[in-house]
A = this chain, B = another copy of it.
């Protein structure tokens, strides 16, 4: 399994070097170097939050818990994030950006089963590589929705909304749309619903088998 069962205090090298521009980070020490020393506390906060949000849910997790597991105090968190929601938002950006990219290729024309197959394959790969963040997302839909509403983005290009949008397209035959939805469900179940049941398999094995089933669902 690609997921490391890391110890709470330790930094895990995930994939999160890219969300800097998204949330207003408090400007670190202005100007002068002094940089290298400590490994991003901000990042460590996000790591811990990701775990706790997944285990207990966003609402079920208090800042005190996050701080405790991190070995700091609540107040310290507020140096790095403006609010609790801000932490959730930072985590959310990863999936959001991925969704943007994944659906980029899609225009306004009705989607074909072939296009969809390629898209779902891509989603499957990403989900396998970023299992944790997807799990967190799945288990905190309510909180994330609220977040989304408050952010008056006017842009509902969340991955789920995009999905539904395509699946509701009346120009595509219903039978095709049901197949499309089902194919997503296949990916979904393999990673989320199954829990730890498939840890014995490598991501590659799992991925290839899922893709086979997906193909079967779409074109079988």
Binding site for B on A (CB under 8 A): 55-57, 59-60, 139-143, 146, 160, 163-164, 167-168, 170, 174-175, 177-179, 181-182, 184-190, 193-198, 200-201, 205-206, 209-210, 213, 216-217, 220
Contact between A193 and B201, CB atoms less than 8 A apart: no
Measured between alpha carbons, how far is A14 from B4 in the docked complex, in Å? Answer: 43
Name 15 interchain pairs, CB-CB below 8 A, sorted by A. Answer: A57-B142, A60-B146, A160-B193, A164-B194, A167-B195, A174-B201, A174-B205, A178-B198, A178-B206, A178-B213, A181-B189, A181-B190, A181-B193, A185-B186, A216-B217
CA distance in complex: A85, B36 (Å): 47
Whether A178 and B142, one on each chain, are in contact in the complex, defined by CB atoms closer than 8 angstroms, is no
The residues of B that contact A179 with a CB separation of less than 8 Å are 213
Contact across chains for B146 and A56 when beta carbons are under 8 A apart: yes
In angstroms, Cα B217 to Cα A141, docked, is 28
Provide the bound-state CA to CA distance between A55 and B213, in Å.
32
Instruction: State the Cβ distance, A13 to closest chain B Cβ, in Å.
Output: 26
B185 touches A60 (CB 8 A): no
Residue from the list B60, B141, B187, B193 in contact with A184, Cβ < 8 A: B193
Q: A164 to B194: give the CA distance in the assembly, Å.
A: 6
CB-based contact A182/B190 at 8 Å: yes
Shortest distance from the beta carbon of A113 to any chain B beta carbon, whole Å? 13
Q: Of all chain B residues, which has the CB nearest A174?
A: B201
* Chain B residue nearest to A164 in the complex (CB): B195
Taking a contact as CB atoms under 8 Å apart, the answer to whether B196 and A182 are in contact is: no
| Interchain CB contact under 8 A, A200 and B187 | no
> Is the CB–CB distance between A57 and B143 below 8 Å?
yes
